[in-house]
Structure formats: structure tokens, C-alpha cells
A and B are shown apart, each in its own frame.
Chain A
Amino acid sequence: MDALHHVAPAQAGATELDEDPARAGQRKSLLRLLTCGSVDDGKSTLLGRLLYDSKMVLDDQLEALEADSRKSGTQGDRLDFALLVDGLSAEREQGITIDVAYRFFATERRKFIVADTPGHEQYTRNMVTGASTADLAIILVDARKGVLTQTRRHSHLVHLLGIRHVVLAVSKMDLVDFSEDRFEAIVADYRAFATEIGIAEFTAIPIAALSGDNIASLSAATPWYRGASLLEHLETVPLAAARSDGGAFQMPVQWVNRPNSGFRGYSGRIVGGTVRPGDDIVILPSGLTSRVERIVTFDGDLDRAVNGQSVTLTLADEVDCSRGEVIASAAAAPEVADVLAANLVWMSDEPLAPGRSYWLKIGAVTVSATIGAVDHIVDVETGRPAAARLLALNDIGHCELSLDRPVAAIPYARSRELGAFILIDKLSHATAAAGMIDALPRRAALGRETGESDRIVWLTGVAREDRAGIAATAQRKLQAMGRMSFILDEEAIRGDLNSDLTAGPPDSTEHARRVRAVAALMSRAGLHVLVAADVPAAEAWPGRALTPADLEQEGGAEWVI
């Protein structure tokens, strides 16, 4: 079937002895990094310099740079490297949202993808976006200014996003005469602060980006500095090959591949560990078990696949497994949870209203999530918690989320892939927040194990004037079967519990949340709950939501049992 595809010799023979220079270049590793600095710390200059020193700047671009440097540069006759990456100012003026720009450069040993987060407005949102994929962060500190509030802010976010490698680049060293004392004082200052917030290790490098000192090679101006140049450090910093959860195998299923009745494969990208044919696996959240039969790829079956690879697995048994489920090593499976405690970084102009429900995407699954009360928000400058009820754009808050069904999850500190999620606004479809799980609390209410939610029926989807009649009929039937029930309507709830709320948003989500809480408590007490209050369809859970179509069906009134 694939006459176009020939197995290239590189696949079979890409050994260290391969002489072909074109192929040698194929064996680079990949490092994703983030640069953080306040305006004027020299971030653009440093980036431009890295591109220039790794020979990524071509003649035509260099010509343009020379012309631009003369016209609008700040460096007189010298090249203004900042102009190489400064493609974003015009857009900022036009009010275009820019979160992150990505730059690429490569050396003999590594390819680098740099997330460059411009500007100070929207800083948290931008930086979190860039940091979410980075393995390393360069935190720039101006040698004249030392550690500033912004430095603390950047460091907190770097730590929150779980970036393990931190470089403290003390910049503009030329302006402090390459003073060792000055450098050491800044490093000591930063170390005290870093330890306090939990950054255990960092690498400090004195640099001057404009003149290139300690960027691509060590500078004669800092004979006292014993470490590596910035580029050498970036090239050699060890990359954790398997960074997820101690090497246990996990793969969210993105797609079930069924080209014909004879083949059924589960496609996904491995997010932790290694897998081999014959391995025992469990499918989560269902808990079904099986064994890996084959690891199928276009290049032939593999005898093992590792973290980061996109593969297709076949299983030894015919088990149910669909998009969104996680195939994991049976020996060390992640937990399954329907309550998540998490840090949320709010990214939407519309603030978070507690009690409102959002789509939550984790791995390859999207579920409905309701956000409970915000415990506290984190002040990114001091790192200290503060009280708050709402989360607004760029706030970071801690809260609990209840999901409408369980998902496989791992705290973020142990897995970036199964510990991170996004929240999606159900109406606008905007990405409203980034979330990082910090714990999986036991479910307190709304338990599904005992079938409590089966006793809740939402009549909210049928016309308001019909609800009372339907509810009364249902109550009679239940009574005839010896079951106790309660009609939870507006009158029952507004009278007292919701008397402080007004009609319409944002109170309507709070209203729905309270209705849900009351229904859950009643059902836990053994009552059947017939919810006839005014609640939007998206909020009508857990339990069964009745539609007008249900009533029209044959034996429509039987729905209640």
C-alpha cells in the first residue's frame, strides 16, 4: 500500500558512526525554553543575540537589521539586536492580543524553541501560556537594578508551572563594570528568595547581550566566572527523558482506529513511561483490564515505545475503550477522581463566578465541571494567599472543581500531562483558565457509588407551566411504590435559602448551585428529588434531565421510575 514510502536507511542505521552530515543533524535533542524579563531588562536584545550567535540570521534579514538599526535602533552605528525579534510592537498598538511569540534556533547539538512573552499587560496570562510547554526558564535581572518585584513574580510563575531548570541571567554586566561583587550580591539575594518559594536549584550567569559577553562563549571581561556560557549551558543542561510519574506508562486515547472489522487500535501520545507488547494495562476510568498486543506504527510494529511518542496500540481482549480514556500500566495506574483541587490561572475577561459550570479538558477528555468556592488567591508578587470570592483576568486562585464524571488524573507536580487542564466557557468557547491539579480530594457529596444521583430528576427542560402537573403525577406514582419524594421548585427554594439572590446572571449560576446542593443532600437522605426550579440546561446535573421528547414517548409518564 505504500509504494511512496521506502524505509530510509536512517531508520535502521542511524548509529553514532553515521558519517552523512545531513543525517548527523537529525539527532539533535529539543529544548523548549521561556525568557522572562521586565520591560527594558534586555530580553529582546538577548534573544536577538542568541539567534545571531547561532547563525540563524540570514543575509537579507541582516541587511534589513542594519537598515532598521540606523533608522530606529537605539545603538547608533551598532546593530540593535532587539529589532530582530521585535515584530510585535505594531500589533500591540493596534490592540491585537499577543500572548506568546515562538522563536527557533539550533546549534550542532540541540534545537531550541523559545517562548517569548512580550509586554507587561496580560503578563500572567502570557507567561503562563509560554511556561506551560517550557523545560527551562531564563529569568533576566538587570545588574544595575537587582532582584525586583517582577523578578519575584516571574519566579513564582516559573515554579507554579513546574519548570525544573531555572537560569538567572544577570544582564547588562557592562554597565556595572563586570563587577564580581555586584553579581554575587544579586545571586545571594535571589538565592534567599528562591529557597523561600521552593526553587531548589538555579544557574546564575553574568551576561552582556549587546556585546555578547558570556552568550556564545566565555568573556575575557569576567575572568572570575567559572561556569559555562549561556549557550553552552542551554546545549548541555540534562533533559529528563521521562518526566512523568516515575516512568509508569500512561496514554490518553485520542482516537479509536477502526479501518475495518479486523483491526481495532487505540491511538494516542504516550505521556509517561514505556510500553511493550505483553504489558498488563488498565483502562481508566472504566477500570477494565487487558494486555498490550501490538504497538502499531507506519514504520512497522515496535517492540517498545516511550514517553513522547505517538503510537497506536492493539489490545489482547475486546474491551470497551473510547476517546478520552487513559490506557495505563496496570501495576501503577493513576487515580480516578471526580473532584479536583487545583490552582487556576484565570485567562478570560469575564471573571469566574463560583458555581458556574465550564467544560474541562484534561488529556483527551472533555467533561463538565462546576467550580466551588475560591479558597484563596495567590499574590504572585509576595507568594502569599489572600481572600477572594471571584477570580478575574490574570488572577491565580485555588479551588475545588466537581466533575460530572470521573477522569484519570495525577497531581501536576508528578505529571504535567495528566495534571494540567483547561477550562472552556460553555457559551463563548473561549479558553477561560489554565488549571494545575494539586490534590485529588475524596468526593464529599454527590456520590455516584451509592447511586444517589439516580434519585434526582430535573424537570427544568420542560415548559414552566407544565412542571407542577408533571411533578405532582410523578409524586403520586412514587408514593404508590412506597417511595418518598420532594418537589424542589422555586417556591421551596426562593422563600428562604435564595432570598438574597436576584434574577438573572451572575446570580442565576449561584441559584443553580444552591439548588444542586439541596437536591444532593435530599437524595443522600434517601428522597427522590423532582427539581422544578428554574435552572438552565447546562446546570441540570447530576442525575437525569428530562426533555419534552421524553414525555411524548410511549409510556412517557414512566420516566420517573
Chain B
Amino acid sequence: MNAPATFRSRGLTHLEQLEAESIHIMREVLAEAERPVMLYSIGKDSAVMLHLARKAFFPAPPPFPLLHVDTTWKFRDMYALRERAAREAGMELIVHRNPEAERLGINPFDHGSLHTDLWKTQGLRQALDQHGFDAAFGGARRDEDKSRAKERIFSFRSAHHRWDPKNQRPELWSLYNARKSRGETMRVFPLSNWTELDVWQYIHAEDIPIVPLYLAAARPTVERDGMILMVDDDRFRLREGEVPAWRSVRFRTLGCYPLTGAVESRASTLPEIIQEMLLATTSERQNRAIDHDGAASMERKKQEGYF
């Protein structure tokens, strides 16, 4: 984000300031934690976070591994980008799949919220414990949802990964208190102060590779319970009378494909997406099935250790 001097004399732009703040946060974690890891979910926020990590530690590669807590139900395009992004960043990629979920064949069609709990929540805990990570970077932003507005940048978890809402620390200036007792871990959110629009503008400005699913294209879809779902592979279970239809769609967030709703759109370039965003009339989480099970659900999931 190096701008010409004329422009610099007016001070840093909001994206330059956000970038500098995120880099500062990452360096603090690296300096104070024993064994950090970056949670990499392959979405746009992860893409930005990874890009910022490459900037923070350049010319060294980011000195920690990437961790993907896999559910086996991500979009195929996501798996393709995952390997490439890790390789090009020069980072080790750890893929964790909860062996119990794998054994039980947990899937989004039969198991509802158990799917998220076992694959993601339990999977994440297993991976952190197994590798002894004491700090995990996550790409969550405060603008995602009303309940996240008060989330700290450094969020502490007990030895059992519980989030104790009564025991979070005030964050003053940019002086982060990263001290913790043995066994405690922290989640750190370097993108806390970014909005969805900032993320897109930054991806555009920095030419950051993203999963093509964010751009509109004709894709095989079905409409179900008010959501447009993509039929990404032949594990998709069609209901009575459902016939996949080609629609021009894109995704605002990416998760497990049978749980992620698409929006109809013709925006096939980043400027078009940004233009659509500026005119957008719904919030990005609306298209995630997981967030619909009740107002307090995000809060509960967080207490249980889901991001």
C-alpha cells in the first residue's frame, strides 16, 4: 500500500491504517506467544489475513503454520486455492479433520448443528491441543454481527477453550496484554476493525487471490428454504422434485457448500462486486444457515469455542 508522496502528505488512507494496525497486532502475537498458528478458512477474510502476514514478516515467510480445520464439505474451488496459497506464502499447511466426525460420517444433510459442532468446534480444539498452539489468529471482524461489536482483538480462553465473558481484558491504545497462565490460549483477530467493504477494497487494491466463487458465474443450483444452494458435487442430496438449474450467482461468505447460500448476481469482477456492495441491501451473514438458529446462538457458539 505504498502511495506516491503527494498523496502521502495527506496522511495514511483508511486501508493503509488498517493494514498497519493488523501488521502491528500480528507482530505482537509472534513476539509474545510461544506457538502461534493462523486459522485459514480459505475465505476472503483469511485471504486478507494471510496477505497481511506475508507483509508483516517479509522478507521472512510468516513464521507460523496455517491451520485449516476441514469438514470435508467445503467447495471444491476452496480446496484448490488452499494448497496454492500456502505454497506461495512459503508456509506449512496443517489440515485437521476430526477423526470422530469422519468415522461417524457426520454431514450437513443428516446432522444439522452437530455437523458444525463436531467438525469445526471440536475439530479446532483437537488441533490446537494436539499441536500445543497457544495463540490462534482468526479472521473475524467486528462488523459481522451485533454481538461481535464488543469483541476484543485478543480474546482469552481457559485451558478447556472456554471463553469466559467475565474475564476479558480492557484493550487500551495499541498496548495488548498477551500474558497468560499455563494452559490458557488466546484467539487473536487482526481484522477486528475491518468492514466487509474494506476487505473487498483491499483485495482489489492488492490483487489478492480469492476463491472464484466470490465472482458471479453460471453455476448449478437449487432453491431450498429461501436459500440458493450450489450443487458442488454428487454428494448433494436432491429432494423430491428438485432439479438443479443454472443461475448466475456468487457467494458473499464461504463455508460448507450445502450450508452456504448464494446470491443472484452478475458481478463478475471485483469493481462490480464493490459496486454491488455499495448498493447492497442485506448483510453477509444472512446467507449462512448456521446463523439462523436463534439470536443468542453466536454468543453460545463462541463460549463453546467455535469462532
Residues of A at under 8 Å CB distance from B? 1-8, 10-11, 14-16, 20-23, 25-30, 58-61, 85, 87-88, 90-91, 94-104, 106, 110-111, 113, 116, 125-126, 128-129, 132-133, 239, 241, 254-255, 257-259, 263, 265, 267-269, 296-300, 302, 304, 306, 308-310, 312, 323, 347, 359, 361-362, 364, 416-417, 420-422, 424, 429-431, 434
**Chain B stretch 172-219: residues in CB contact (< 8 A) with chain A:** 172-175, 177, 179-181, 192-193, 195, 197-198, 201-202, 204-209
Determine whether the beta carbon of A297 is less than 8 Å from that of B173.
no
Flag B264-279 by CB within 8 Å of A: 1 or 0 each: 0000001100110010
In whole Å, how far is B6's beta carbon from the nearest beta carbon of chain A?
A: 8
Chain B residues with CB under 8 A of A23 = 204-205, 271
Determine whether the beta carbon of B24 is less than 8 Å from that of A310.
yes
Residue of B with least CB distance to A113: B193
Determine whether the beta carbon of A298 is less than 8 Å from that of B168.
no
A28-B13, A132-B172 are known contacts. Are A364 and B177 too (CB-CB below 8 A)?
no
Determine whether the beta carbon of A416 is less than 8 Å from that of B173.
yes
| Complex alpha-carbon distance, A239 and B192, angstroms | 22
- Choose from A87, A254, A306, A424 the contact partner of B179 (Cβ within 8 Å): A424
| Complex alpha-carbon distance, A509 and B16, angstroms | 46
Residue of A with least CB distance to B279: A55
Determine whether the beta carbon of A267 is less than 8 Å from that of B27.
yes
Determine whether the beta carbon of B56 is less than 8 Å from that of A422.
no
Q: Which 4 interchain pairs have the tightest Cβ spacing?
A: A259-B60, A87-B146, A59-B281, A310-B23
Determine whether the beta carbon of A96 is less than 8 Å from that of B170.
no
- Choose from A21, A28, A431 the contact partner of B169 (Cβ within 8 Å): A431
Please tell me if B70 contacts chain A, counting CB pairs below 8 Å: no
Please tell me if B8 contacts chain A, counting CB pairs below 8 Å: yes
Chain A residues with CB under 8 A of B206 = 5, 8
A21-B275, A96-B166 are known contacts. Are A422 and B88 too (CB-CB below 8 A)?
no
Determine whether the beta carbon of A429 is less than 8 Å from that of B181.
yes
Determine whether the beta carbon of A58 is less than 8 Å from that of B20.
no
Determine whether the beta carbon of B13 is less than 8 Å from that of A5.
no
In whole Å, how far is A484's beta carbon from the nearest beta carbon of chain B?
A: 41
A to B CB contacts below 8 Å, 13 in the list = A14-B3, A16-B7, A23-B271, A25-B274, A26-B13, A96-B165, A116-B149, A257-B60, A297-B55, A361-B177, A429-B179, A431-B169, A434-B172
Please tell me if B104 contacts chain A, counting CB pairs below 8 Å: no
Determine whether the beta carbon of A420 is less than 8 Å from that of B149.
no
Residue of B with least CB distance to A361: B175
| Complex alpha-carbon distance, A96 and B149, angstroms | 14
Determine whether the beta carbon of A101 is less than 8 Å from that of B150.
yes
In whole Å, how far is A65's beta carbon from the nearest beta carbon of chain B?
A: 11
Determine whether the beta carbon of B168 is less than 8 Å from that of A97.
yes
A22-B204, A28-B14, A129-B170 are known contacts. Are A61 and B60 too (CB-CB below 8 A)?
no
Determine whether the beta carbon of B170 is less than 8 Å from that of A347.
yes
- Choose from A4, A133, A257 the contact partner of B59 (Cβ within 8 Å): A257
| Complex alpha-carbon distance, A14 and B201, angstroms | 13
| Complex alpha-carbon distance, A61 and B205, angstroms | 29
Chain B residues with CB under 8 A of A85 = 146, 149
Chain A residues with CB under 8 A of B169 = 430-431
Residue of B with least CB distance to A347: B170
Determine whether the beta carbon of B282 is less than 8 Å from that of A132.
no
Chain B residues with CB under 8 A of A424 = 177, 179
- Choose from A28, A96, A296 the contact partner of B58 (Cβ within 8 Å): A296
- Choose from B10, B17, B282, B296 the contact partner of A59 (Cβ within 8 Å): B282
- Choose from B31, B142, B168, B282 the contact partner of A254 (Cβ within 8 Å): B31
Determine whether the beta carbon of B20 is less than 8 Å from that of A308.
yes
* Known contacts A26-B201, A60-B286, A97-B165, then 19 further A-B pairs from the complex at CB < 8 Å, ordered by chain A residue: A6-B207, A16-B7, A22-B271, A26-B15, A60-B282, A91-B150, A94-B165, A97-B168, A98-B150, A100-B170, A110-B14, A254-B28, A257-B59, A265-B59, A267-B27, A312-B58, A422-B172, A424-B179, A429-B179
| Complex alpha-carbon distance, A2 and B90, angstroms | 9
Residue of B with least CB distance to A32: B193
Chain B residues with CB under 8 A of A96 = 165-166
| Complex alpha-carbon distance, A395 and B206, angstroms | 46
In whole Å, how far is B166's beta carbon from the nearest beta carbon of chain A?
A: 6
| Complex alpha-carbon distance, A56 and B198, angstroms | 13
Residue of B with least CB distance to A10: B205
| Complex alpha-carbon distance, A5 and B206, angstroms | 8
| Complex alpha-carbon distance, A105 and B202, angstroms | 17
Determine whether the beta carbon of B172 is less than 8 Å from that of A431.
yes
Chain B residues with CB under 8 A of A308 = 11-12, 16-17, 20
Determine whether the beta carbon of B275 is less than 8 Å from that of A11.
no
| Complex alpha-carbon distance, A276 and B275, angstroms | 38
Determine whether the beta carbon of A254 is less than 8 Å from that of B24.
yes
| Complex alpha-carbon distance, A10 and B198, angstroms | 15
Residue of B with least CB distance to A429: B179
Determine whether the beta carbon of B170 is less than 8 Å from that of A125.
yes
In whole Å, how far is A59's beta carbon from the nearest beta carbon of chain B?
A: 4
Please tell me if B85 contacts chain A, counting CB pairs below 8 Å: yes
- Choose from B56, B57, B275 the contact partner of A22 (Cβ within 8 Å): B275
Flag B2-39 by CB within 8 Å of A: 1 or 0 each: 11111111111111111110011001101100000000
In whole Å, how far is B56's beta carbon from the nearest beta carbon of chain A?
A: 7
- Choose from B59, B197, B281 the contact partner of A25 (Cβ within 8 Å): B197
In whole Å, how far is A348's beta carbon from the nearest beta carbon of chain B?
A: 10
Determine whether the beta carbon of B193 is less than 8 Å from that of A27.
no
Chain B residues with CB under 8 A of A417 = 173-174
A106-B195, A269-B20, A429-B177 are known contacts. Are A99 and B170 too (CB-CB below 8 A)?
yes
Determine whether the beta carbon of B28 is less than 8 Å from that of A364.
yes
| Complex alpha-carbon distance, A306 and B180, angstroms | 33
- Choose from A2, A16, A22, A88 the contact partner of B201 (Cβ within 8 Å): A22
Chain A residues with CB under 8 A of B57 = 255, 257, 267
Please tell me if B102 contacts chain A, counting CB pairs below 8 Å: no
Chain B residues with CB under 8 A of A364 = 28, 31
Chain B residues with CB under 8 A of A10 = 204-205
Please tell me if B129 contacts chain A, counting CB pairs below 8 Å: no
Residue of A with least CB distance to B151: A102
Candidate in B5, B150, B168, B197 with the most chain A CB atoms within 10 angstroms: B150
Please tell me if B171 contacts chain A, counting CB pairs below 8 Å: yes
Chain B residues with CB under 8 A of A116 = 149
Chain B residues with CB under 8 A of A296 = 58-59
- Choose from A94, A259, A306, A359 the contact partner of B8 (Cβ within 8 Å): A306
**Chain B stretch 40-87: residues in CB contact (< 8 A) with chain A:** 51, 54-61, 84-85
| Complex alpha-carbon distance, A269 and B61, angstroms | 19
Determine whether the beta carbon of A255 is less than 8 Å from that of B24.
no
Flag B242-280 by CB within 8 Å of A: 1 or 0 each: 000000000000000000000000000011001100101
